[in-house]
Structure 1
Amino acid sequence: MVRAISTLVGLAFVGVLALALFFTAKDAIQNPAPEAAEHEFHLHPRDAALSSAGYFGTFDRRQVQRGFQVYKEVCAACHSLKYVAFRDLKEIGYTEAEVKAIANQWVIEQPSINPDTGEATTRKNVASDHFPSPFANEVAARAANNNALPPDLSLMTKARHDGANYVFSLVGKGAYRPQPAELVEKFPGAKTPEGLHYNPYFANLNIAMPPPLTSDGQVTYTDGTAATHDQMAKDVAAFLTWTAEPKLESRHAAGFASVIFIAIFCFLAWGAYQNVWRDVKH
């Protein structure tokens, strides 16, 4: 008796779920959701053509250093790199002395405590310190950015789809543009709000960040490279690719070595099989 009741209850539950699924599917077919402006006007990221892309990619250290210069002079005023230490810069070609100088001369100092008074103070950065946040806390960050919170850039190229190309496109030439009249005509409610900026590479088309790169030559590269708008965008994308995955080259090398090992192992296993069963007639 108990088994029969349990079976009936189970069948009733399955029936209710089936009816709910049927009516939901029917409603979705008969009354499809209105097309969103993001779907029609959002653009796929442009290809930055970085040397680190692909299965055998490696970092162009001169480019990564240029990207660090762009971050330092343009992005660091709002965006943090909390997972990167100054000493990590040695991996992209800076000497120990250069790293110490960069840390010591960094505009934002480390928070500290005065040992004599116990009051909050600051101290110079050292190579072992992580890059300090430009803001004391989230409240201060929002207050300085029209209530928008600038994201940490350490892992940005891993946190966004097609990350390096996304960063390059988002800040590259032509990314910030007037909102198309066609968009406003078709989607009146999608007009860019006051204080935001239209950018077709951003998820919802409207971004709080003002254009970070505004003109050619905004940064003067120490290696003499012409600092065009797209060059600066490409270089900072290369730098953020490195911050997100500094071991990319060793990972690629390990993967390549593993494939070679597996190929040799399979050949040896096949040879052993042939040797063991060579006298057996099929």
Structure 2
Amino acid sequence: MSPPTCHIKIINSNTCQAMTTNINASAQSAKFPGTEIVTVQPQRGPESVESFYDEYLAIPGILEQIILDRDSDAFILACWGDPGIEAAREITTKPVIGISEASLYVANMLAAKWSVVTTLHRTRDMVEKTIVKTGLTERCASVRTTKLSVLETEQDRANTLDVLTEASQLAIQADGAEAICLGCAGMSGLEQELENRLGVPVIDAVAAAVKMAESLVSLGKTTSKQLTYRSPERKQIKGYPSHYQAENFPRS
């Protein structure tokens, strides 16, 4: 029996259309036949997210994609680091899945130790903070950064594969990794070739998030409003469109 139809919105956290297209392709290949996926990007924000400044600029546009949505059963934040995920969970009862959380949880079920292979060296702290937030630090063998920018992961896929292969081999041979998490949404679609080269599980974060979203919708679960992700207190918010006002958000 096929799982019931569910509607998932995937939000690319940056404004790069090529990356949105690639994310959508990965998601479409991973979904159940009955799942409907729409992949979008913010109307405003940076073309890539690879600094804290980029991340904070991107968050209002990410949240807007959730605030204005009435039809989706779940939301996926397609940026490794899950920018704005706590705020997103405050403004909806629907499940909100971050691709980094999803990929780490999947890796944790497949390997005793795993590594994250990601983009620029400056992103290490952002990645490490995300791992700490998930509570999985002890299972992380390493974070391997590369010379690749987020946009470069899209521009030359052959080079991206070679760079990721080299970094992943170091993680396996030097750090003891038994699985690899791809630490950027722009790396989606490369996992199978990397698995063939490396001989260990390689986790596509977008695909992992799609399967998590489908599972939560199928289970009928919603975001807890008991305390931490309760709707924001109602107050005047100046300078933002009216749909950002907390009075618009579900209380339970």
TM category, shorter: under 0.3
Larger Rg: 1
The structure in which a higher percent of residues are strand is: 2
